[in-house]
Chains A and B, each alone.
Chain A
């Protein structure tokens, strides 16, 4: 499995990356950890004439927790997320999700930026970032701009990012309350059959706020406003959870593939969301 030939670049700063993207247009692609792109290149489903490796670009691998805001550079790996005591304290849902991505070797290479920017509906970080209402920073020839995770995904592999832009960081307010990332997969290393990201805040016995996002159940991640709203003001009893699950079902559009028929995916979606809500509520 030998990929088509390409020219390889390892620029040291974002200016160099943008210049290459402008020079080569559609023929160029940036690569973070490469664990989605390289398999596609080996299968020759992707032919990249100019491959721009981001590993030496300065300033992309930081984790900062400051003033209640968390920022992850695009090149932060899943392994770094799992290892970060600061992140575990500030946003433990990230570690819970990262531990369910791929396998140990892949997590040393796989990055948060690659995971969210690729637009693969099977990736876990996009749904998680929608749950957290994260903002993505994109840098292009005209400077940088910010896009909400909840409006970044248009269709499978189609995102708001222009070909001449690079996603450089994700940031979000430190979440409050209980959390859970629940993923059903066929085996280690597989993408989700269904996964749910849930954050819940409790006020006394009542749910004060909730955020629910689902993974691999449509051609984009799905942040379900209605499912989130179904929990607010309730004691998150069985009836409230059933209402949230029903609302979620109206927002997803699973299709049959090698992970099962659509009806099975709806069943798995209901199961993972029910579990995630219960666990998040217990932790709230």
Chain B
């Protein structure tokens, strides 16, 4: 048996400690060990972005990171962004603007978009298309995803202004 490692992760504000083989992929840790099934396994080859999570402030494809690399890291998954009762602004915007059809790519889309808006709160349509280029959708044709993110940006900026 390969040697197991002691791993510590903070996921959506909650600490986890466990033993795992270093080769365990982060997406498998999240889905199978921590039962966070929001991040999806799409292509498994770092192309599609369905497994996107935030690791220490970076958007990362969790199919292309070993759990050993993430040891000690702070992670956010779609489950940490919003809940059915208190959805994230992006989740509401995707629903209102038909930013999804089958929904498979949506957790990755929204997790990536949340980071994009954090780095660039006023993106142009072109900047959204460029910033979302690591996430593939096979249903929507992207138009409504872009619209959803633009709408969420306006909403977040209006909320920020109101607070000031």
Contact = CB atoms under 8 A, between A and B. Distances in A.
B2 A104 contact: no
Interface string B110-133: 001000100000000000001111
B60 A2 contact: no
Contacts of B3: 7
B47 interface: yes
Contacts, number: 80
Given A4-B23, A34-B64, A104-B112, 13 more contacts: A1-B44, A5-B21, A8-B22, A10-B68, A10-B71, A38-B65, A39-B46, A39-B64, A103-B134, A105-B49, A105-B59, A106-B46, A189-B134
Contacts of A79: 58
Chain A's interface size range is 20 to 34
A172 B115 CA distance: 33
B5 A8 contact: yes
A8 B68 contact: yes
Contacts of A8: 5, 22, 66, 68
A108 interface: yes
Interface in B1-30: 2-3, 5, 21-23, 25
Given A53-B68, A104-B133, A108-B59, A7 B22 contact: yes
Contact of A109 (B5, B21, B23, B60): B60
A51 interface: yes
Contacts of B140: none
Which 10 A-B residue pairings sit nearest by Cβ, starting from the closest? A103-B134, A5-B2, A8-B22, A108-B58, A105-B134, A8-B68, A188-B133, A105-B59, A104-B134, A103-B133
Contacts of B68: 8, 10, 51, 53
A53 B73 CA distance: 15
A224 B59 CA distance: 37
Given A2-B25, A6-B22, A39-B46, A106 B2 contact: no
Contacts of A233: none
A220 B58 CA distance: 31
A38 B25 CA distance: 10
Interface string B49-83: 10010000011110011101101000000000000
